[in-house]
Every structure is written in C-alpha cells, then in structure tokens.
Amino acid sequence: MDFLTLFVVVPVLTIIAIVFTKNMKQTRLVAAVGMGIQLLLAVALVFMYLAERKAGNTSEMLFSHSYVWFESLNIKYNIGVDGISVAMILLTGIVVFTGVFASWTVEYLSREFFISLIFLSTGVFGFFISLDLFTMFLFYEVAVIPMYLLIGIWGTGPKEYSAMKLTLMLMGASALLLVGILGIYFNSNAGGGELTFSILEISKVHIPMAAQRMFFPMTFIGFGVLGALFPFHTWSPDGHASAPTAVSMLHAGVLMKLGGYGAFRVAIFLLPDAAKEMSWFFLILTGTSVVYGAFGAIFQKDLKYINAYSSVSHCGLVLFAILMMNRAALNGAVLQMLSHGLMTALFFALIGMIYGRTHTRMINKLGGLMKVMPILAVSYVIAGLANLGLPGLSGFVAEMTIFFGSFQYTDVFHRVLTISVAASIVITAVYILRVVGKILYGPIVNKEFLKLDDAHWYERLSTGLLIVGIAGIGIAPLWLSDMINESLSPIMHQLLNVIVK
Amino acid sequence: MRLESFLLMRHEILLTVALLIILIAELSTENKKKISNLSVILFLGVTVIGFLPVPEGLLFGEMYRTSHLIVLMKNILNIGTLILFFQSAEWIKQTEYKNKVSEFYMLILSTLIGMNFMISSGHFIMFYIGLELATIPIAALAAYDRLKNISAEAGIKLILSSALSTGIMLYGISMLYGTVGSLYFSDMAGANLNTPLQTLAFIFFFAGMGFKISLVPFHLWTADVYEGAPINVSSYLSVISKGAAVFTLTIILYTVFYSIMPMWKNLLYVVAILTMTVGNLFALRQQNLKRFLAFSSVAQAGFILLGIIDGSGLGMASVVYFVLIYIFTNLGAFGVVSAISVASGKEHIDDYNGLYKTNPKLSLLLMLALFSLAGIPPVAGFFGKFFLFTAAAHSGYFWLVFIAVINATISLYYYLLVVKAMFINKNENPIAYFKSAFTTKVGLLLCVFGIFAIGLLSPVYEFIRMFSNIL
C-alpha cells in the first residue's frame, strides 16, 4: 500500500476498533490513539515532502499513485499531493486530533459520536489526497453527511433545524458540483484524448469556451457554498452555533476549507478562461461575504454566532483571494486557510470549554473570566489577536499576503473592492476586542463562576497544540510559504496561458 | 429444432418446475410451514443454477430470444426474489396466513415466469402474454389479506387500473401492427416508425409501461396499492415488478423504437422531470412508511429514466446497474419496515421515534438503506445514481441532470426525516426490542452486503457494461 492511502485507512481502522470498545473511556482512548497516529503521519508527510523536493523531484504531484477503479468510465483512484495539500493535511491532522480532546467528556452515545467524527475526517483526508474528480466528489459527500447526525444528536439549541439546513444546503451545493464535474468530464476529450476524471490530465486540455462558461459557475458556486459564499452562507452561522464543540472546530476549521481548496483546484485550475472572464461577478459576491460577515459578527451576542459570522468573513476572504488569481494572492489564500483553520478551531474549542463550565454563551451573562480560568482566558486572547491580524501570529501573514496580491491590480474596480474588503477586516478588531473586554475582564457577573475550575490536562493539550500552530505560521511563515509557492506554479502557468490567448 | 435448444429457456423452465413441486407439496402435506422452507430452498437452487453459463439464441422463430444481458437481468430479478423470500419466511408464518402459504410462493413464482418471458420476448404477443402473467397474480397477491378491506381494495384497484392500462397498450400495439404488418420486434426495428399514427401507437405503448413502472402521470395507483397490500407484496411490487418492467421498456425502446429515438428522448425528458418532482413532493408529506416508500419509489423511477434516455450501451449499463443496487437497497428498507411491522404492527414514522435505543441494528440498516436511496457515498446508491447521471450527461442532458440532482437533494430531506425519527427524536415508549428470525436476518444481511459491496467493487459494473452494448 502506498503512503497516502494510509490517511484513509487509519481512520477506517480506528472506526472499526471503536465499534468494539465497551465504554466511553476506551472509546475516547482509541479515538485519541488513532487520530494521534494520523497526526504523526501528517507530520511525517511534511518532512517526506520537503526531503523529496530537496532531492530535486520537480514533478507536479508527489507520492502519486493511480489505480484503475471503473475502467470503462476511466475512473481511477488517483492520489498525490503537492505543497498545498500537504499543508491542508497537516491542518486537518491537528484539528481532528485536538477535536478528539475537545470532546473528551462526551458521554451520550460516545461511541457513535467518535465514529461519526472520524468518518467525517476520513472524507476530509480523502478529499485532500484525491487527484481524480470522481473520488474527490465522493469524499466530499462522505465529509458532509455525518454532519447531520453530529449536529442533530449531540448539538445544542435549534439543532434539528440547523442540522437539516446545513445538510440540505451543502448537498444542494454538491448537486451543482456534480453537474460541473460531469460537464468537465464530458469535455475532457477536447484535445483528442479519451474522457477522464483526472485533474492533471484535464489541466492539459483546453476545454471549449462555451463549456467553461456553463460549468465554471456551477463548480465555483458548488464549492463556494462550503466556503460560505454570499448569499449561500446562511447554513454556516446556524450550523456552527448548534454543533457540538469538536464539530464546530472541524467544520469551521477544516470543512469550510474544502470549499476554498476545491474552488482553487478544480474551478480555477481546470476552467481558467471562464474564471478570468467571470471573476468580477464572483469577486463582488465574495467581497460581500467578507463585509457582511464582519458586520454580522458585530451584532451577535452569542459567542458561537460571533465566531461563525467571523468565519463567513474570513472564508470569504479565502475565495476572494483565489479569484484574484495572482501568485501572491493565491499564496495568501492558502495561508489564510491554514491560519483561519487553526484559530477558528481554537476559538470554538475555547467557547466549548467556557460553555461547558458556565452553561451560557451569551456575552452579557459572562464576565471576569480571566480571574476564574486564566489559562482559557489567555488562550482566548491569543486566538482573538490572531483573528484580528496581529503581527507575529498567523492571521497577519495571511491577510497581508492577500492584500499585497490583490493590490497588484491597478484598475478602479479591483482597488475599490480591495480597499473595502481590507477595511472590513479592521472591523474584526471591533468585535474581537469587545468580546474579550466583556467576557474576560471586568467584574465577575455571576458569583457561581467563582466555583469553576480552569483547563484540565486534555483541554490544555488541545489548546496548546493549536496555539503552537498559530504562532508557528506567524513567526516562521517562510518555509510554509515556499512550500506553497512552489506548488502554485502549475496553476500560474494555466492562468498565464489564458492571458496570452 | 433440437431438444437442447429448450435449454435456452432454462430460467423459465426451472421456475415452472419449482412451481409444480410446490403445488405437489401443497397437495400432499398438511404442514404448511414446511412448504415455506421448501420454497425458499427450491428457489435458492433456481437462483444458483441460473448463474451457469448459457448460450445466446432464438427460439420459436424469434418469438423468444435470449442474450447474456437478458440472462443477467433474469438473474438480478432472481436474486431480488430470493432476498424477498428470506425476508417473508417469518411473516408468512403468522397464523392468519396459515392456510395460504403456498399460494404466496406460487403466485410470486408465476409472476416471475411472466416477467422472464416479458424480458425475453421477441414478438409483441409474447410480450403481452408475459405482461399479463406478471400482472394478474400480483393483483391476487395485493388482496392477500382479503379479509382486510384495505387489502381487498388494493387488489381490485390494481387489477382494474392495470386492465385499463393494458388495454391502452394493446390498442397501441394493434396500431403498430396495422402500420408495419408484423408484430416481430425485428421487423419493427427494421421499419421507420415515423408516421403520426405510429407516434400515437408508441405513446399508448409507453403509457402502458409507464403504469407498470409507476411513472407520473400513471402513478396514481401506487401509493394506495402499496399501502393496502401486505408489506412484502408491496416490496415485491416496488422492486422486482418495477425492475422487470424497466428492463423490458429499456430493451424495447433501444431495439423496436430505435428509429424514433429523438422522439422518445423528448418524451422521457418531460416524464423524468415530472416523475422525480411529483414523487418527491408527495413523499415529503407521508406519515405511513409504506406510502412513504411508495412515493420514494416513484421518484426513483424518475431517476432511472435518466439512464434510459441516453440510448446507448452506457445508458443500458447504468440502468441495469442501478436496478441491481435498487433491489438490494429497497429490499433493505422494506425488509426493516416489514420486520418491525411483523413484530409490533407499527408502520408510522412517528412510531419509529427513538428506535435506535431499542433496536440499534435495524435502525442502522434502515439508515444505510435510506442513505443508499438518497445516493450518499460510500454506499452503493451513490454509484448507481452517479452513473445514471453520467449516462444522461453523456447525451448532453446537463440541465436534466441538474434537475435530477436538485431532486435528489429534496429526497434527502425526507429520508433524513426517518433517520431523525430513529436517532434524534425522543420517545417515552419506543418499539420494544425484539429478536428477528434467522431467515429475516439472512435476508437483511444480504441487503447490507449488497449495499456496501456493489458500489465499491467495480467489477460488478464492468461485468454489466461488458454485455450491455450487445442487445
């Protein structure tokens, strides 16, 4: 078996092991071990990737393997990674691992909970290693459906409504995506070859313009819904607010990145001409996401809703950057996905921990937590600062790179958009600082809070790991940036070709 | 004609022999429960022998024909019936049925013989006889609980509406005869059926078939009959009977009506959209699981049309593949509903609230089956639907695919409602835990196996694809 397939096999084996566990303690232990192995694999993959590149391997995708699956339709189980997918896999590894610890105390049907959670992560890992549109789509849907049970069974608030809304909107998006993928497939023989689902082979074909015009919007919106594209973002606040902690973490941290990654890897990479032509329209939509999300966050009183709207804003920024289609902006988009993945996961983990103690998420009912639970409070401040883009933390690097990239366009349209988007990023500071001031500092509003304890070891582990990641990207972005930059060459090549034509 | 050539009809002969053995057993024994076991074992043998290789060929001067694809279709129907027999063995042992055990098996086998002839026919008279043989016993089966009003009503409803639809179809066939001068499929395929009268004849024919497959607007009988008939008969109607009609329709469209393909493609386009949408919208509001599954199966029939509309080997393969998956999936769903109905007599979605607490395995199985019906990976339904959509996209019907996938999303909503009832909703008195009989377990496990394996194992699809170019 090849190395990459392990990323799908390990979760599946973990699920099988969990089926045979007897009680909650065994279950969470098995889950932690399984996802720990997964995280180690992800770290090992990074080093193997760097070593391979250092040794002078310049092929587009490394560790790639291709097995014929449905021969007559030319569907292959085709896997491989470049710098971007390696980074996303590492992100997923970290978030899933910390997610297991964030749900350390789930008692109700704990076996089923961890099985669904890990099943979801199987889909995510599979998505990031796929180089074949069919398997990619398959893993995408695998990642979406466990969400329904996770939110519906273990969620809070109007969970049934939120779960249904989220599932149906994402499945509706995948409906668009399916048509887009089939459209690409049936035009992949434009160069005279045979029909194929393979991303790399399709990228060498020039798909006829009429087909691109039809299928680019479908593919981009299909992935965009997952990346909280305005006006299809409405599943996100409700879904995130109702989901249990680990699921919010995984969903905002990783699953929403599937949208950005897919839009980049499929929509822009395979249909570059239409992307150039239509980018203005989608730039307006994504710009609206950024601004709308930021303003939406200001008016919320529930910590999870604040964060969910902030995620809409930041994930919108990812799509915005992808549509800018130059090297710096794309680089920034990937950095933003990583950075937002880590800090949002941290945010949701902390909110879950605070909620678990105080049983409220309303900011007006919280206050003075710094005195009661200093470790959690400090972590919250760190997450907040990363979110508003403080230099030295990951958010700054990512946003800086994106705006650097988008400012390279000198026409009025791009300038206006860039400036308004950059301005709304400043709003982030408003709601973050307001929340931090309100819930962490000030007097203790509820005497009951004095009895609460600070973070347990498993909570420290998960927050610590995420903070290390955030600071890591912030302090030493270069090696990551290099890894990404290198992998951007094929897509830049695609986009440059368009301009020549 | 040499005697060996009768072996081409092996499926039909075997079924007839099995039928006669059951009849003799019925006459010679008092213990009716034994007949049930005997029938299951006999049919197991029939199914296994059906897989032995058989040559292709024609019989009775082209009245009857067989090919690898046709044999494959018959085997698929056999597998489905076998699973159904396993699932029914416990249900039929209930005291109220004790005097008519063998009737159930004999009637099912005779409809199966009819379906086999229908698929194998090379002549419209043969086709008609097969069709009648496949329909009339089902009406008797629908009225199997004849002392219950609702079941008797289902039987009458089915026989009356099917008589009407068959009449219309015969009228269409007679017009074809009048214009072509022959009823042989090969003669029709050779002729150009472009005149308005022939178009009308085709539409009459299509209406008759649409009734069998329950396409909108010929679906009105479906929900009432499914609800009234005993659950295992509904299961048979929705899976085997529909599958056989789909196979026959596909073969006839691809051969007899090949010359008017653009015309029937347009017709299918409209009917597919109607069937999917109407089926889905009605399924949304159902509270009785049998009605719910009835409308869901109407919607599924609409999806099948997306495969047929392609008009090439790819479409044929996707249809056969989907029906195979659909058999396992729908029998899984009906199997659970039937097991629960036998044990507790409950058939409403609300009754299923909190089922996961008391009967986790059945709940998981029903969830798997519903996800497979909705087309969620990694279970087989996803692959089935994906290939149907691929077939339609192959002919350039991207907007049709789009409407279909939106419909698939709507269908996910009501499938999730059942999942929600079982897993999320709380209930003070959920259906109590019960142990299923051994045969029921076998029937359900076969479904689980199919739901997982048929999709992930690509050789199944490749095997079907290999034969589907040659008709």
What pLDDT is recorded for position A500?
45
Cβ atoms within 10 Å of A316's Cβ, excluding its own: 29
Mean pLDDT along residues A195-220:
87
Q: Which residue of A has its CA nearest to B465?
A: A72
Between the ranges A7-21, A423-437, A467-481, where is the mean pLDDT highest?
A7-21
A20-29, A210-219, A489-498, B296-305: the lowest-pLDDT one: A489-498
Percent of chain B with pLDDT over 90: 42
Give SS3 for A198: strand
Q: How confident is the model at residue B407 (pLDDT cuts 50, 70, 90)?
A: very high
As a whole number of angstroms, the distance between CA B42 and CA B27 comes to 17
Measured CB to CB, residues of chain A less than 8 Å from chain B are 69-73, 75, 134, 138-139, 141-142, 145, 148-149, 152-153, 160, 164, 167-168, 171-172, 174-176, 178-179, 182-183, 185-186, 214
pLDDT in tens, A441-471: 877 777 777 777 777 788 888 888 888 888 8
Query: Is A86 a member of any domain?
Result: yes
Compute the count of residue pairs across chains A and B with CB atoms less than 8 Å apart: 79
Domain count across chain A: 1
Mean pLDDT along residues B59-64:
84
As a whole number of angstroms, the distance between CA B299 and CA B291 comes to 12
Mean pLDDT along residues B378-390:
91
Give SS3 for A302: strand
Query: Is A146 a member of any domain?
Result: yes
Q: In the 3-class helix/strand/coil scheme, how is chain B assigned residue by residue?
A: CCHHHHHHHHHHHHHHHHHHHHHHHHHHCCCHHHHHHHHHHHHHHHHHHHCCCCCCEEECCCCEEECHHHHHHHHHHHHHHHHHHHHHHHHCCCHHHCCCHHHHHHHHHHHHHHHHHHHHECEHHHHHHHHHHHHHHHHHHHCCCCCCHHHHHHHHHHHHHHHHHHHHHHHHHHHHHHHHCCCEHHHHHHCCCCCHHHHHHHHHHHHHHHHHHCCCCCCHHHHHHHHHCCHHHHHHHHHHHHHHHHHHHHHHHHHCCHHHHHHHHHHHHHHHHHHHHHHHHHHHCCCEHHHHHHHHHHHHHHHHHHHHCCCCHHHHHHHHHHHHHHHHHHHHHHHHHHHHHHHHCCCECHHHCCHHHHCHHHHHHHHHHHHHHHCCCCCHHHHHHHHHHHHHHHCCCHHHHHHHHHHHHHHHHHHHHHHHHHHCCCCCCCCCCCCCCHHHHHHHHHHHHHHHHHHHCHHHHHHHHHHCCCC
pLDDT in tens, B159-197: 999 999 999 999 999 999 999 888 888 888 888 888 889
**Who among A69, A134, A183 is closest to B398 (CB)?**
A183
Q: How confident is the model at residue A498 (pLDDT cuts 50, 70, 90)?
A: low
Indicate the average pLDDT of chain B: 88
**CB A71 to CB B458 under 8 A?**
yes
Q: Using alpha carbons, select from B102, B71, B13 the residue that is nearest to residue B468.
A: B71
User: Residue A295: is its pLDDT beyond 80?
Assistant: yes
User: Residue A271: is its pLDDT beyond 60?
Assistant: yes
Chain B hits for A69, CB-CB cut-off 8 Å, are 458
Using CB atoms within 10 Å of the CB of residue A422, give its burial: 0 to 12 exposed, 13 to 18 middle, 19+ buried.
Answer: middle
Residue keyed to tokens 């099985």: A115
Distance from CA of B414 to the nearest CA of A (A): 10
Mean pLDDT along residues A270-277:
86
User: Residue B243: is its pLDDT beyond 90?
Assistant: yes
Using CB atoms within 10 Å of the CB of residue A179, give its burial: 0 to 12 exposed, 13 to 18 middle, 19+ buried.
Answer: buried
Q: How confident is the model at residue B322 (pLDDT cuts 50, 70, 90)?
A: very high
What pLDDT is recorded for position B240?
93
What pLDDT is recorded for position B1?
59
Query: Is A449 a member of any domain?
Result: yes
Cβ atoms within 10 Å of A213's Cβ, excluding its own: 14
* Helical segments of A266-364, H only: 269-270, 272-298, 303-324, 327-358
Mean pLDDT along residues B266-276:
92
Looking at per-residue pLDDT, the higher value among A459 and B106 belongs to: B106
Percent of chain A with pLDDT over 90: 6
Query: Is A95 a member of any domain?
Result: yes
The torsion angles phi and psi of B463, rounded to 5 degrees, stand at -60, -45
Mean pLDDT along residues A20-26:
84
Query: Is A1 a member of any domain?
Result: no
The torsion angles phi and psi of B58, rounded to 5 degrees, stand at -120, 150
User: Residue A368: is its pLDDT beyond 80?
Assistant: no
**CB B393 to CB A186 under 8 A?**
yes
Judged by a CB distance cut-off of 8 A, whether residue B465 touches chain A is yes
User: Residue B212: is its pLDDT beyond 60?
Assistant: yes
As a whole number of angstroms, the distance between CA B241 and CA B388 comes to 20
User: Residue B358: is its pLDDT beyond 60?
Assistant: yes
Q: How confident is the model at residue B471 (pLDDT cuts 50, 70, 90)?
A: low
Chain A hits for B390, CB-CB cut-off 8 Å, are 73, 182, 185
Judged by a CB distance cut-off of 8 A, whether residue B467 touches chain A is no
CB–CB of B418/B366 below 8 Å?
A: yes
What pLDDT is recorded for position A422?
85
Domain range summary for chain B, segments of one domain joined by +? 3-467
What pLDDT is recorded for position B332?
92
Percent of chain B with pLDDT over 70: 99
Cα A216 to Cα A192, A211, A280, A317, B64: the distances in Å are: 21, 8, 13, 19, 50
User: What domain range includes position A195?
Assistant: 6-500
Q: Which residue of B has its CA nearest to A146?
A: B376
What pLDDT is recorded for position B74?
92
CB–CB of A329/A402 below 8 Å?
A: yes
**Cα B419 to chain centroid, rounded:** 24
User: Residue B110: is its pLDDT beyond 70?
Assistant: yes
DSSP state of A361: -
**CB A160 to CB B424 under 8 A?**
yes
What pLDDT is recorded for position B470?
59
Mean pLDDT along residues A351-373:
80
Indicate the average pLDDT of chain A: 85
A230: alpha, beta or left, given left = phi > 0 and alpha = psi -120 to 50?
A: beta
**CB B402 to CB A176 under 8 A?**
yes
The answer for B 231-270 residues in CB contact with A (under 8 A) is none
User: Residue B4: is its pLDDT beyond 50?
Assistant: yes
Q: Using alpha carbons, select from A163, A346, A314 the residue that is nearest to residue A245.
A: A346
A374-378, B349-353, B387-391: the lowest-pLDDT one: A374-378
